Amino acid sequence: MRLSIGTTALDYDETKQFGEWLLKVSDDLIGDNIDGETEICLPEDIVIPSSDQTFDESVHFSYPNILENMSSNDFFKARTILVPTLDIVEKVNNHLMAIILGGEKLYLSSDLICMDKGNMENQLDLYGPELLNSINCSGFPLHKLILMVGVPACL
């Protein structure tokens, strides 16, 4: 991450304070660490209130003129949106894919239960395809993968 230094002394001080705060976060000096998870209270001045309008504005601010710039590898390297949940990551991806014209290809996972031994009928009831396909957690791929020609993918 690179922080730009503003032109005024106030901009400089705010940027310096924010940079110091980020370093403290990365050094695990801020927040309460419980069982390897840290809860951090963000300063109010950097939190964007949640609404559909601010969501659209944030996406378009982070990826301005995406249709004109998407062929440039550096365009995506220099930008990111940090969000707290994987559901919002999916929402951002779906929003960007809706902007881009072109045919999309849908790939679905194949979720199966290994039928080795035991009472498999009960396990099939417990772990049906609906449950397996609804799992959305870090390090585990989504049930649906949508790809488009010319759109970068990070797998």
Determine the Cα–Cα distance for residues 40 and 22; give it in Å rounded to an integer: 11
Q: How many CB atoms lie within 10 A of CB 63?
A: 20
Q: Is 82 helix (H, G, I), strand (E, B) or coil?
A: coil
Mean pLDDT of 40-63: 79
Average pLDDT, the chain: 78
Look up the pTM and report it.
0.57
Residue 7, pLDDT > 60, answer yes
Mean pLDDT of 106-112: 78
What is the pLDDT at residue 120? 62
Q: What is the pLDDT of residues 8-24, one digit of tens each?
A: 777 788 888 888 888 88
Q: How many CB atoms lie within 10 A of CB 23?
A: 11
CA–chain centroid gap for 128, Å, is 27
Residue 114, pLDDT > 70, answer no
